[in-house]
Structure 1
Amino acid sequence: MKNSQNTPKIYVGTYGRYNSGSLFGKWFDLSDYSDAAEFYKDCYEYHRNEFLPELMFQDWEGIPDFLISECSLYEEAFKYFKAVSEMDDDRAEAFELYCSNIVSWPANGNDLEETLEGFNEAYQGYYGGVMKDPKTEFTYQYVEDTGMLAGAPSVLERYFDYEAFGKDLFLDGYSEYNGHVFIDI
């Protein structure tokens, strides 16, 4: 996580200073912390010269919007960062899409492990390569993997409409987000 360009960082100021016209604060690299308690401890220590500082997250990088707001960081964020750091870039992007667009995690109340299990069952892969349309690319792979046309004569195979079949697949059963395909569960 330390070497990643997407290392999560937060610029932390306080509402008191902001209301006084100051953007005084500091960038905190979240990869330096093992959990939220450790992070908040450092934030309060940095702003110790203020009486009861009310922290304000004025900017952030590498943190999905569903994990952060102007005044709070979701408590499971560090577990999320650890899980994502163990994934390749495509899979990490897909997991973020899954959390935000498909299952609305963490708002849905599920824990991270349960969400990861669901993701591993639903995720079919990234299809943004050789073809212009990820859905059609997935459909070609689906037809090949299922052996759907295995017994069909080659003359008939040439007339199979992959695009039309793909539209049907994605009407009920599959979803695509930025080239990532998921089974609708």
Structure 2
Amino acid sequence: MYAGVYVGTYKKYNEGNDNKLAGKWLDMSDYDSYDDFIAACKELHKDEDEPEFMFQDFDFDSEVRPLLKQLVKGSQVDPQAWDVFELDSEGLTCVLAAWGNYDSDLSVKEALEEGRKSYIGSYDSEPGDYVYDFLEEILKALPGSVDPKTGELYRTY
């Protein structure tokens, strides 16, 4: 997965260099951790004593874009971005759903847990089957409900 960030510094931008975007594209997913990424940013701008990084542009693969847009902002990259890189497509869906439906202040790991609790399937996997299975589970919990395939009662009380 590609998670490109253009890394410049506020000093270079404010000094009005010929190229105000004096930096370089780095793929965040190439680094094992936030600390490794920041070390690469420091190496890139080692000509400054204490560089204040400016993440001036972003280019994220579509599957991670909605999540990373919340974690990468002008002068800040949230270390949780590396939790996003570990997610499979179902995990990405769960986190995005939890942030959208519950609380965007949840951490990536908390959102994954919340999303998995309520995840019942994906529309593109066997359309309708997951809905049928979900409804069947609900029917089983109702007193006096009947199995549509066998005609037997699920529960008799």
Identify whether the pair has TM-score above 0.5, normalized to the shorter chain.
yes
Q: Residue 112 and residue 139 in structure 1: after superposition, are their counterparts in 2 closer, same or farther (change >3 A)?
A: closer
Matched residue SS, 2:57: strand
Q: Provide the residue aligned with 2:47 in structure 1.
A: 49
Partners in 1 of 2:9 and 2:79 — Cα distance? 19
Q: Residue 151 and residue 75 in structure 1: after superposition, are their counterparts in 2 closer, same or farther (change >3 A)?
A: closer
Matched residue SS, 1:59: strand
Q: Provide the residue aligned with 1:165 in structure 2.
A: none
Partners in 2 of 1:151 and 1:125 — Cα distance? 21
Q: Provide the residue aligned with 1:142 in structure 2.
A: 134
Correspondences of 1:1-185 after superposition (within 5 Å): 6-19=1-14, 20=16, 22-62=20-60, 63=65, 64-82=68-86, 84=87, 87=88, 89=89, 91-105=90-104, 107-108=105-106, 111-128=107-124, 139-146=131-138, 150-151=147-148
Q: CA deviation at 1:103?
A: 3.5
Unaligned regions of 5+ residues in structure 2, if any? 140-144, 152-157
Cα-to-partner distance string for 1:88-119 (whole Å, 9 max, x where unaligned): x3x144134224313434x24xx544433222
Matched residue SS, 1:126: coil
Percent of aligned pairs sharing the same letter: 28
Partners in 2 of 1:112 and 1:144 — Cα distance? 31
Q: CA deviation at 1:139?
A: 4.6
Partners in 2 of 1:145 and 1:60 — Cα distance? 43
The question of whether the paired residues in 1 share the 8 Å contact of 2:6 and 2:57 is answered with yes
Matched residue SS, 1:11: strand
Q: Residue 45 and residue 99 in structure 1: after superposition, are their counterparts in 2 closer, same or farther (change >3 A)?
A: farther
Q: Provide the residue aligned with 1:168 in structure 2.
A: none
Q: Which runs of 4+ in 1 moved over 6 A?
A: none
TM-score by length of 1: 0.59
The question of whether the paired residues in 2 share the 8 Å contact of 1:10 and 1:28 is answered with yes
Q: CA deviation at 1:74?
A: 0.8
Q: Which moves more between the two structures, 38-47 or 71-80?
A: 71-80
TM-score by length of 2: 0.68
The question of whether the paired residues in 2 share the 8 Å contact of 1:143 and 1:149 is answered with no
Matched residue SS, 2:46: coil
Q: CA deviation at 1:71?
A: 0.6
Q: CA deviation at 1:26?
A: 0.8
Partners in 1 of 2:30 and 2:148 — Cα distance? 57
Q: CA deviation at 1:140?
A: 4.2
